[in-house]
Amino acid sequence: MNKEKYFKLLVQEKQRILRNLFMEKRVDEKTESAWVEPKDLEEWADLKIQDDMRYKLCERELSILKSIDVALKKIKEGKYGICEKCGKEIEEERLDLIPWTRYCSICSRNAVRGK
Ligand SMILES: [Zn+2]
């Protein structure tokens, strides 16, 4: 599995969500923010979400952001791509679509059905 590829995908998605968030924040407050554009991928990856930003995120983006952080942590720990339910490897086709997923396609389908 190409972990470098998924790391980049995850960081890109995190960057996109945080950018949206930042733009909303600027529009809302109409002030110059102390925001400093992170210079590289590592900085983006380590960026923590501020509490005052949190409530402005829609629920879906917030949950994705959390999942991205979990996935980035897993990459660092060497546990990325393992289903949290059954412990098997998550299909790469699935990771290509949802790189922050925590479950394989079978467990995810079961979860939707409420099993
Ligand atoms: Zn599974």
Tell me, in angstroms, the distance from the centre of ligand 1 to residue 108's CA: 7
Tell me, in angstroms, the distance from the centre of ligand 1 to residue 57's CA: 29
* Residues in the 5 Å CB sphere of ion ligand 1: 83, 85-86, 104, 107
pLDDT given for residue 59 in this prediction: 72
Tell me, in angstroms, the distance from the centre of ligand 1 to residue 1's CA: 17
pLDDT given for residue 31 in this prediction: 47
Instruction: Report how far residue 87's alpha carbon sits from residue 12's, in angstroms, rounded to the nearest whole number.
Output: 26
Fold assignment, 3-112:
Four Helix Bundle (Hemerythrin (Met), subunit A) (1.20.120)
Convert the pLDDT of each residue in 12-59 to its tens digit.
Answer: 999 998 887 666 555 545 444 555 566 655 555 555 555 545 455 567
Please report which confidence band the pLDDT of residue 67 belongs to, taking 50, 70 and 90 as the band edges.
very high
Contacts by 102-111, CB closer than 8 A, 24 or more apart: 102/67, 102/70, 102/71, 107/83, 110/85, 111/85
Average of per-residue pLDDT across 65-77: 95
To 5 degrees, how large is the angle CA 42–CA 46–CA 51?
150
Domain ranges of the chain: 3-112
Tell me, in angstroms, the distance from the centre of ligand 1 to residue 50's CA: 32
pLDDT given for residue 77 in this prediction: 95
